[in-house]
Amino acid sequence: MAVTDFSYVRQEMAGPKPAPSSEVGVVHWLRTNLFASVTDTIMTIAGLALLVYTLPGLIQWLFLDASWTGTDRSACATVSQGGVLPDGQSGACWAFVSAKFNQFIFGRYPSELYWRPLLVMVLFIALLIPMLMPKAPYKGWNALALFIVLPVVSFFLLGGGLGLEPVETQLWGGLMVTLILSFFGITVSLPFGILLALGRRSNLPVIKMLCVLFIEVIRGIPLITVLFMASVMLPLFLPDGWTFDKLLRALIGVSLFSSAYMAEVIRGGLQAMPKGQFEGADSLGLSYWQKMRLVILPQAIKLVIPGIVNTFIGLFKDTSLVYIIGMFDLLGIVTLNQSDANWSSPVTPITGYVFAGFVFWIFCFAMSRYSLFMERHLDTGHKR
């Protein structure tokens, strides 16, 4: 009974047939994704109409009709507005952005001292990149350098002292201040938020009550009132003769505000921890702080990384509010420069805001993408 004798039985598998032509290719994709039903077709056409209506005008305004070079307002104004552009043409005034670029980044920091913020920026990036890479070694030392050493070093580098020419914080501005505020806010709010969250979950009624009071009051009021409080009330609270730097007041306000939000995010992580983890740590004889540091917090924080990054993004966006209490962060300096008579034209404000919006967007979008990456990286597969 040799099997090979049956010549009518196929020796090899039949090759797969190509999918029917209606199931592959561009046409199929169009059919399923754009024109699946009558409603779908109508919606696709509406969407296309929206794109056709807006996109060409947007590209025209942003790039084709934009003025890229120039030294004053005439580059961006039409003839009837006292400029060189033909009447009726309207385009972005990128010349304004490039002329004011240094101000947008450094504020009114003296230009011969630009190397100092630049050096801080280089140090910051050099320390931040290994911190963000999960595989880079020496995380502890890196964190120490980034969160403790760098702020001290940059305080002296930016503000002067120790033989460097002093620069008042009033002259700081632009993206530099936005980054300082948000970095400081992030560095302070995370440990503060953890402490507040632990306090809120504490068994000690007095501590619990104080933490709940702080968190709920801060979360119930807008940041603007906190900043007003920091800028108007702090001087009242201090003994006679003490003064606080304006930037420091804003830093305190922003940090207090984001700590309360951070505390709520961390509390979510603490609540999601199974009770067995607490009991297991207790049965090992760990003290309260050992239990939290070694067992609970590493797991709890990992659970809420998206929430933490969302708080960071919120904080980064909220730093723009310091403009209202008279500081010139990126948004503030862009707004301030629009009143420069040398550059006033109908398109100057909107160009400035498009630029500022783009910078804010890049940072926030990068942060949200990084949080997605970390979520995937830290996902141990234990989730349900």
Those residues whose C-beta lies under 8 Å from the C-beta of residue 154, and which sit 6 or more positions away, are 120, 123, 124, 180
Options 18-26, 27-35, 107-115, 166-174: segment touching other proteins (CB under 8 A): 27-35
Could you tell me the smallest distance in angstroms from the CB atom of residue 2 to other proteins?
51
Binding span for other proteins by CB under 8 A among 97-105, 155-163, 300-308, 360-368? 360-368
Q: Is 52 in the site for other proteins (CB under 8 A)?
A: no
Selection from 262, 322, 253 nearest residue 107 by Cα: 322
Span 121-150, contacts to other proteins by CB under 8 A: none
Token pair listed for 368: 């949200």
Least CB distance to other proteins at residue 378 (A): 20
Among the residue ranges 39-47, 68-76, 182-190, 295-303, the one whose residues contact other proteins (CB under 8 A): 39-47
Q: Is the Cβ of residue 83 or residue 120 nearer to other proteins in the bound state?
A: 83
Rg of the chain in Å (alpha carbons): 29
Task: Measure the CA dihedral 263/265/270/272, to 10°.
Answer: 160
Question: Binder to other proteins among 4, 7, 111, 203 (CB under 8 A)?
Answer: 203
Is residue 222 within the footprint of other proteins (CB under 8 A)? Answer: yes
- Give yes or no for residue 228 binding other proteins (CB under 8 A): yes
Q: Is 43 in the site for other proteins (CB under 8 A)?
A: yes
Q: Any idea how long the chain is?
A: 384
Question: Exposed, middle or buried, 96 (CB in 10 Å: 0-12/13-18/19+)?
Answer: buried
DSSP 326-352: T--BHHHHHHHHHT-GGG--TTHHHHH
Region from 15-23, 128-136, 142-150, 344-352 binding other proteins, contact rule CB under 8 A:
344-352
Q: In whole angstroms, how close is the CB of 320 to other proteins at the nearest point?
A: 4
169: exposed, middle or buried (Cβ count in 10 Å: 0-12, 13-18, 19+): middle
In the three-class reduction of DSSP (H, G, I as helix; E, B as strand; rest coil), residue 93 is classed as strand
Nearer to other proteins among residue 149 and residue 217 (C-beta): 217
Does the protein bind other proteins through residue 98 (CB under 8 A)? no
Burial class from Cβ neighbours inside 10 Å (0-12, 13-18, 19+) for residue 102 reads: middle
Residues that bind other proteins (CB under 8 A): 32-34, 36, 40, 43-44, 47-48, 50-51, 203-207, 210, 217, 219-225, 228-229, 232-233, 235-240, 313, 317-318, 320-321, 323-324, 331, 335, 338, 346-347, 349-350, 352-354, 356-357, 360-361, 364-365, 368
